[in-house]
Amino acid sequence: MVRYEPMEEQLTGLDPVVEVVPYNVHFRDRLHDQVTNQELILEYPTVYLIYDEKAATKQQAPKFIVYVGETSDIERRTQEHLGIDAKQRADWLALKQSGNAQMMVVGNRYFNKSLTLDIENRLMLYLMSVKNVKRLDNRRFNPQRKYFMSDYSDEIFNRIWQALRRKRADIFEDQAEIENTAIFKASPFHNLNYEQNESKVKILGKVENALAARRNEADDQDATVIFIAGQAGTGKTVLLSNLFYDLTGSPLVRPKQLYLLVNHEQQVKVYQAIARKLGLDTDVKDIVSRPTHFINTHQGQPKVDVVLVDEAHLLWTQGKQSYRGENQLQDLLKLAKVVIIVFDKYQILTTQEYLDDAAVRKLEDGAESQGNRIELVNQERMVADQATIDWIRTLIVERTVGQIPADDRYQLKVARSPEQLYRRVQRLDQQRAQGQASLVRMLATFDWPYSGGKAKPKNGDYWEVKIGQWHLPWNLQLPAVEGQKRRNKLLAWAEQPQTVGEVGSTFTIQGFDLNYAAVIIGPSVKYRDGRIVFDASASKNRSATQKRTWKGQQIDVAEELLRNELNVLLTRGVHGLFVYAVDDALQAKLLEAAGTTHTLEDD
């Protein structure tokens, strides 16, 4: 009689089988000769990785080209790769002819089709962020939802990753470190929540219908707009990244007819890295770029099929630098058949991006009238109770400071001084150095002088945030640590090691997550007569405080833009937010709201 143990007991002590063999025509002999558990490898479904190591240079560690797959018959599938695939595709031929290519085969007693597809997808998710992986191939996207064993997939995947890491730590990096990277957070291989998945299915249908309807229409008609709305942290970027990857493999969109644009320099780096690792930029030059570049290079050309715009609230609504137009979104509508935009009016930060509420409503209503407005409402960034999220939202939008709610999942604390705030940052950063991966950075409202480029202040080497005797440089001024300069060019601000010693602004952190955000609320944010007020005279952000010509009139929108600046800064932390206010009245009110429970203590 078979005794069925509870699943938890069955999983205890269970490790996957991982076999490594050369990837060549002799693979079958090696599998049969060296595999100890032939049943799991040769008769069960398996997940496998084929990797080719490129020689290291003096400047760089070895780089790997990695293919991830799953199969019910590893012998048959490998023979297909070496035979048919090598005849039809250059990448498979290169792997076959390489003298360095290896194959890892992973077996597990609990593998079924859904589970192997899930593990395959998760391997893509994690390997995407590994610095030594130059190129990642799969050409499929198989997100899984609920299935038999799905409740244990996290545990099984973690064991598989650790087993692979024991074989090749230079490919399989520490999971916690990977999860802190910007590429991981924006990866198209995340499983979407129900709201995101429903939105994606709807959008793909809208794209299909729009492209079909436009085949016989005049080329001078403006693009169909699909409007994705959502507040900070609702998962808009992950949805857009997911859509981008899906559409690159879709028969609806020709490979050279899809582009992703974003006006944030740090975010451009992230999307370009994703496109480069997945080989999406091989056939399409500048598949990821800034809007001005796309507009300037596509003027007078046939319309492309689809343009996706992340952070569309950053699109310029007036001429600036090399952009000679008047409205980037309106220009994009003339250059594409479908434009998918992600938009949050509470993240418009500069007068160059300004749209009044009426203009935003017109844009949304136009999409709504065609059933093309999608709204995400579920908070995906902050691991916090709704009461905490509401407290931050009330402070920003309603400008009132209530009692900070109890929350076992999220640290929301008020520091007594900037020194104390920075000490907490340093302590949490030490956890990262010890392998616990606490990504934390100092941030501040733009209330201290700063000039980009090579300009230096009259006194000192760096532009600094100064409060009393305390001071730190800010906004990407510190030099890279030894040996890191080349890699820093590919990393977002928060990922560069030296930036823990400086303060970031909205221009370095917008669109990114931190585990913990330590925010200095500068003198442009005050507390008067029971409400938060914004003082433009105390801000050094001319992009927010200078007047803007709008509909033929000079208008002052500083109050609205400074509110949005605060919104961006206070919503960066996934697990915690620590704040200190320069304004005495606001600091006193925050400490009152914190009480003893939510006042930061040194430990």
Q: What is the CATH number of the domain that holds 261?
A: 3.40.50.300
> Is residue 601 assigned to a domain?
no
State the pairing for strand pair 304-309/133-137. Answer: unpaired
Pick the most confident of 34-38, 266-270, 539-543: 539-543
SS3 524: coil
Tokens representing residue 179 in the block: 């999860």
CA 520 to chain centroid: 24
Structure-token match 């760096």, residue found: 462
Residue 418 Cα distances to 295, 466, 475, 532, 577, angstroms: 44, 10, 17, 20, 14
SS (H, E, C) 472-494: EEECCCCCCCCCCHHHHCCCCHH
254 and 395 together in one domain: no
Which pLDDT score is estimated for 589? Answer: 98
Q: pLDDT at position 200, please?
A: 94
Whether residue 143 is predicted with pLDDT greater than 70 in this model: the reply is: no
Least confident of 148-162, 206-220, 285-299, 570-584: 206-220
Same domain as 460, residue 365: no
Tokens linked to 311: 């952070």
Region 489-496: what's the mean pLDDT?
Answer: 84
Residue 264: predicted pLDDT = 87
Q: What are the tens digits of pLDDT across the range 417-432?
A: 999 999 999 999 988 7
Instruction: Kindly state whether residues 454 and 313 are assigned to the same domain.
Output: no
Q: Which two tokens stand for residue 80?
A: 């297909």
Q: Are residues 404 and 520 in the same domain?
A: yes
Of the three residues 376, 407, 440, the one that is the final residue of a domain is 376
Indicate whether 226 and 85 sit together in one domain: no
Q: Where are the alpha helices (DSSP H) in 89-193?
A: 90-97, 113-127, 153-167, 175-179, 182-186
Residue 112 near residue 124, CB atoms below 8 Å: no
Same domain? 351 vs 411: no
Q: How far apart are CA 107 and CA 37, in angstroms?
A: 9
What is the pLDDT confidence band of residue 13, given thresholds at 50, 70 and 90?
A: very low
Quickly tell me which residue has 């991830």 as its tokens. Answer: 68
Average confidence score pLDDT of the chain: 90
What DSSP designation does 100 have? Answer: S
- Tokens read off for 234: 């609702």
More confident residue, 580 or 28: 580
At 412 the pLDDT is: 98
Host domain of residue 282: 194-376
Own/partner contacts of 35-41, CB < 8 Å, gap of 24 or more, are: 37/107, 40/107, 40/108, 40/109, 41/17, 41/74, 41/105, 41/107
Structural domain contains residue 314: yes
DSSP 8-state code for residue 283: T
Contacts of 592 (CB under 8 A, 6+ apart): none
pLDDT at 192 exceeding the cut of 60 = yes
Q: Is residue 182 one of the residues assigned to a domain?
A: no
Total count of domains within the chain: 3
Residue 477 scores a pLDDT above 80:
yes
Same domain for 97 and 208? no
Q: How confident is the model at residue 3 (pLDDT cuts 50, 70, 90)?
A: very low
Q: Rounded to whole angstroms, how far apart are CA atoms 348 and 344?
A: 7
Report yes or no on 432 lying in a domain: yes
- Residue 499 burial by CB count (10 A; 0-12/13-18/19+): exposed, middle or buried? buried
When pLDDT is averaged across residues 349-368 and rounded to a whole number, the result is 93
Nearest to 401 by CA among 410, 417, 412: 412
SS (H, E, C) 321-377: CCECCCCHHHHHHHHEEEEEEEECHHHCCCHHHCCCHHHHHHHHHHHHHCCCEEEEC
**Count of residues for the chain?**
603
What phi, psi does 128 have (nearest 5°)? -55, -35
336 neighbors 304 (Cβ within 8 angstroms): yes
- Residue 92: is its pLDDT beyond 90? yes
| Dist. CA 575–CA 557, nearest whole Å | 32
Q: Which residue has the higher pLDDT, 269 or 388?
A: 388
pLDDT bucket at 142, cuts 50 / 70 / 90? low
Residue 86 token pair: 């090598």
> Who has greater pLDDT, 526 or 11?
526
Starting at the edge strand that comes first in sequence, how are the strands of the sheet with 63-71 ordered? 17-22, 102-107, 46-54, 63-71, 133-137
- Closest to 196 measured CA to CA, from 371, 381, 368: 381
Indicate the residue type of 195.
E
What confidence score (pLDDT) does residue 282 get? Answer: 80
Residue where a domain stops, chosen among 356, 376, 396 = 376
Q: What is the pLDDT of residue 57?
A: 57
Q: Which two tokens stand for residue 137?
A: 């191939």
Distance spanning both ends of the chain, measured CA to CA: 57
- The amino acid occupying position 119 is I
| pLDDT exceeds 50 at position 173 | yes
11 pLDDT higher than 50: yes
Q: Do 153 and 261 reside in the same domain of the chain?
A: no
The pLDDT, as a whole number, for residue 41 is: 92
Please indicate, yes or no, whether residues 264 and 356 belong to a single structural domain of this protein.
Answer: yes
The percentage of residues in the chain with a pLDDT greater than 90, rounded to a whole number, is 69
Lowest mean pLDDT among 71-80, 112-121, 211-220, 325-334: 211-220
568 belongs to a structural domain: yes
Amino acid type, 321:
Q
How many of the other CB atoms lie within 10 Å of CB of 426?
12
Q: Is the pLDDT of residue 2 over 50?
A: no
The candidate with the shortest Cα–Cα distance to 178, out of 222, 123, 136, 233, is: 123
The per-residue pLDDT for range 453-475, each reduced to its tens digit, is 777 887 778 999 999 999 999 98
Q: Are 101 and 93 in contact (CB under 8 A)?
A: no
280 and 222 share a domain? yes
Q: Is the pLDDT of residue 579 over 50?
A: yes
Q: Kindly state the percentage of the chain with pLDDT values over 70.
A: 93
- In a shared domain, residues 291 and 394: no
What pTM was computed for the model?
Answer: 0.89
Reduced to 3 states, what is the DSSP secondary structure of residue 556?
Answer: coil
Q: Looking at the domain assignment, is residue 486 inside a domain?
A: yes
Domain boundary among 349, 376, 403: 376
Residue 52 has pLDDT above 90, yes or no: yes
Q: Same domain, yes or no, for 296 and 238?
A: yes
| Domain contains 180 | no
What the block records as the tokens of 591 is: 């400490």
Between CA 555 and CA 565, with CA 559 as vertex, the angle to 5 degrees is: 120
Per the CB < 8 A criterion, the answer to whether 534 and 553 are in contact is: no
Instruction: Give a yes or no: residue 29 inside a domain.
Output: yes
Q: What is the pLDDT of residue 14?
A: 65
